[in-house]
Structure 1
Amino acid sequence: MQIVIVGAGPTGAALALLLVQRGIAVTLIEAAKDFHRVFRGEGLMPSGLDALEQMGLSALLEHIPHRQLNAWEFILGEKQLFRVEEPMGSKRPCTLVSQPPLLKALISQAQTNDGFEFIQGVPIKDLCWSNQRVTGVVLSDGQKLSANLTIGADGRNSVVRQRAKLELVRQPKDIDILWFKLAASPKFAADNVFRTILHGDRVFSVFHGVEEGKLHLAWVMSANEKTDSKQADWGEILASHSPSWLAEHFRNYANTIESPIRLSVVVGCCPHWHAPGVMLLGDAAHPMSPVRAQGINVALRDAIVAANHLVPLLQASAEHQQIDMALAQIQAEREPEIIRAQKLQLAEAAQGEQLRKNPLLRSLLAQLAPLLRKQIRRSWLKRQHEMRQGITKVQLTV
C-alpha cells in the first residue's frame, strides 16, 4: 500500500508519522521549501497537548521553543473586565509552540522509519484519475506518483480540494487581521497573558509569542477600515487604545513595530471531505477561525482519528472500496467536533463584534463591570471548556 499525503503541516506531518511507524509506506509532499510562514498558529490547547502525548511525542516539546500562557485577560477601555488564570481546570496550561521546529521534529522521526519519502519544495499540479477514482498526484516538475490513497492536508487554499472538486462552504464573512511583531515588555515575559483589548470600536489581542523578546499583536480590521497600514503611526495608534502601562510600552518601542502583515482568514467546512481515493483533513477540509487557537489542535486530532480507521485496512492491503468506506467514517467521527467548534468560535466573535459596534452597550458594561465581573467570567469559562478539552473523545487505538 502506498499513501501520498499532500501538505506537511501539523495534520500531514503527524499522520505521516503515525502511518510509517505502523509499517505503511508514505510519501509526504510539501510545496514550500521551508516551514517558515508569515503566520502559523502557536497555541496548543490541552486537547492538542493530549494528542501529542497519545502519539508519544510529549518529550518533543522540551527540545523545541515553547512558552506557556499564564492567563487570559479582557480589557474594556482602560479597565479590566475579567482575568482567568491557566490551566483553567485542565491538567496542562495552554502552551505556545513554534511550528517550524515542531514540524521538522515530526518529519525527522518519520525519516527514521522504512518506507517514508519526503519531497519538499515541489508543489502538486494535479490529481491522477482512473475510472473516476483518484490514483495519485502529478507534481509541478511532471513527476507522477501513484497512490492507493491520496490525503489532502494542504491547508485552507488546498489544491487537492480544488482538483478533487470538493466544495468548501465558507462562512459569510472572512476575518481580516493585521498581524504585528514588536519588542516585548518585561511585564509579558514575567506574566504571559493573552490580552484582548476593546477600546471604542477597535479590538486587538496581544501576547508574548514563542520567539524570545517578541510580542505578537493581532489587530482585527473593521469593514470600513481606512487606516493605511503601511504608513500609519502604529505606535501611537496602539497606545491610544491601550491601558496606560501598555500605551507607554507601545510609544517607547514604536521603532520595533514590524510592518504589519494582512491576513484574510477563510473559515468554512466541506460538506464532503472525500471522494473515491482522496481525503481532505485539517484546514483543507475545515479551515478554522483564529478564535481560541483551534487549528493546530483539531489538526492533530484529525490525524489520530484518520490513523485509527486507516491503519488496520492498509496493513491488511484492503480493497479500494473498503478504504473509501473508511473515509466516510473518518468524516462522520470528526465532523461533529468541527461544526461545534466553529459555532463556538463564531458566537465568541459575534459577541465581540456586537460590543464593538454598540457604544451604549460598551458604556453600560464598563459601568456594571464591578457588579457583573463574576457572572461574565463564569459565562466565558463555560464556553471555553469544549474548545480547550475537545468536544468529542479522541483516543489513539492503533
Structure 2
Amino acid sequence: MQIVIVGAGPTGVTLALLLAKRGIAVTLIEAAKDFHRVFRGEGLMPSGLDALEQMGLSPLLEHIPHRQIDAWEFILGDKQLFRVDEPMGATRPCTLVSQPPLLKALISEAQTHDGFEFIQGVPVKDLRWSNQRVAGVVLSDGRELNADLVIGADGRNSLVRQRIGLELVRQPKNIDILWFKLAASPGFAADNVFRTIVNGDRVFTIFHGAESGKLHLAWVMSATENTDSKQANWGEIFASLSPSWLAEHFRNHADTIESPIRLSVVVGYCPQWHVPGVLLLGDAAHPMSPVRVQGINLAFRDVIVAANHLVLLLHREAGHQDIDMALSHIQAERQPEIIRAQQLQLEEAKQGELLRKNALLRSLLIQLAPLLRKIIKKSWLRRQYKMRQGITQVHLTV
C-alpha cells in the first residue's frame, strides 16, 4: 500500500520514518527546497523527549545542535519574581534542538529503508479524487501520485486542509510576536535561563537557543503597538526594560541584533481531522500557541497514535473503508489532549496579559514579592505540569 505525506516538518518526517522502518511504502513531499525557514520552534518538553525515545530517535539529538534549559525565571520591573530550576520533577529537562539538522538527520535515516521516497522543492498543487475519496496528489510539475492514504502534515496554513474543505475554529485573535536573534552573553552559555521580563506594559522573553552563540528574544506585541520595528533602537529599548547586567549586554552588543521577524500566529483546531482518504496531523489539524512550546511535542505524540492505528492495517493491506474508520479513531484519541493543551495555553497567556495591562497589580506584586514569591511560584508550577508531561497517556505499540 502507498502512503503520501505532504509536509516534511517534524510531524511528516517522523511519521514517514516510522512507517518506512516498518516496511510501508511512503512518499514524503516538501514544497521548500531546504529546511531553513524564518522560524522553527526548538523546545522539546519531557513529553516530546519521551516520544522521541519511544520512537528510538533519541540518539540523533547527540549529533545535532541542542541545549538544555536550566531554569525558568520571571522578572517584574528589575526584580526577580521567582525562578524554577529544571527538570521540575521530570526525568528530563526541557531541551532546545535545532530543527533543520534534526529534520535532515531523520530524512537520512528514512532513506536507508526501501520503499521511502523524498520529493523536495516540488509543492503539491491539488488532490486526486476517485469515487468521492482522495486517491492521491497532483504536484506542481504535473506529476500525479496515487495513494491509499494522504496525510496532511503541511502546517497551520495547510493546502491539504484547504483542498478537502475543512476549516479551523480559530481563537479570537492571533498572537503577534517580533522574533530577534543576537549575540549571546557568557552568562547564558553557563546558565541557560528562559527569562520572561515584564516592565510596565512591555513583555519579552529571552534565552539561549540551540544554535551556538545566539540569544533568541520574543517581543510580545500589544494591540496598540506603534513601534517601527525596522527603525527602532532595539538595543536601547531592551536595555531600558532589563536588569542592569542584561542592559549592559544589550548596549554592548546592539550591533548584533538582527532585524526582527514578525510572526502572526494563528491558533485553533479542526473539529474534523479527516475525510475519506485524508488525515490531518500536527499544525494542519491543530495549530498551537507558542506559549510553553507545545507544537512539536504534540506533533510527535500525534505521530505515535497515528502509527499505532495505521501500521497493522497497512501491513495486512486492509480495505479503504477500514483505513478511513481508523482515521476517526486517531482523532478521537488525540483530540482531548489537544483541546485541553490549548485551554491551558490560553489560561497562561491571559495571566501574562492581565499583568501587562494592570499597573496596580504590577505595583503590588513588586512590593509584596518577598511575601508572595512562594505562593506565586507554586501556582505557576501547578499550571505547567500537564503542558510538560502530557495530558494523556501515549505509548508506541507497533
Same topology, TM > 0.5: yes
Aligned equivalents of 1:27, 1:211: Cα separation in 2? 30
TM-score by length of 2: 0.99
Aligned equivalents of 1:187, 1:63: Cα separation in 2? 25
Q: Which residue is 2:177 aligned to?
A: 177
Q: Deviations over 1:4-59 (max 9, x none)?
A: 00001010000001111111100000000000111100001001110110011111
Aligned-residue offset at 1:365: 1.2
Aligned equivalents of 1:35, 1:25: Cα separation in 2? 23
Aligned-residue offset at 1:279: 0.5
Aligned-residue offset at 1:270: 0.2
Q: Which residue is 2:53 aligned to?
A: 53
Q: Which residue is 1:20 aligned to?
A: 20
Aligned pairs for 1:237-252 (under 5 A) are 237-252=237-252
Aligned equivalents of 2:239, 2:346: Cα separation in 1? 28
SS in 1 for 2:217: strand
Code of the residue aligned with 1:11 in structure 2: it is T
Aligned pairs for 1:199-348 (under 5 A) are 199-348=199-348
Q: Which residue is 1:197 aligned to?
A: 197
Q: Deviations over 1:126-167 (max 9, x none)?
A: 111112111111111111111000000000010000001111
SS in 2 for 1:3: strand
Q: Which runs of 5+ in 1 are unaligned?
A: none
Q: Which residue is 1:134 aligned to?
A: 134
Aligned-residue offset at 1:366: 1.1
TM-score by length of 1: 0.99
Asked if 1:99 is matched to 2:99, the reply is yes
Aligned pairs for 1:1-80 (under 5 A) are 1-80=1-80
Matched positions, count: 398
Aligned equivalents of 1:384, 1:290: Cα separation in 2? 14
Q: 4+ runs of 1 displaced by more than 6 Å?
A: none
Q: Deviations over 1:215-258 (max 9, x none)?
A: 00000000010000000000001111111111111011100000
% identity of equivalent residues:
82
Aligned-residue offset at 1:278: 0.2
Aligned equivalents of 1:368, 1:138: Cα separation in 2? 62
Q: Which runs of 5+ in 2 are unaligned?
A: none
SS in 1 for 2:322: helix
CA RMSD of aligned residues (A): 0.5
SS in 1 for 2:286: coil
Aligned equivalents of 2:355, 2:129: Cα separation in 1? 50
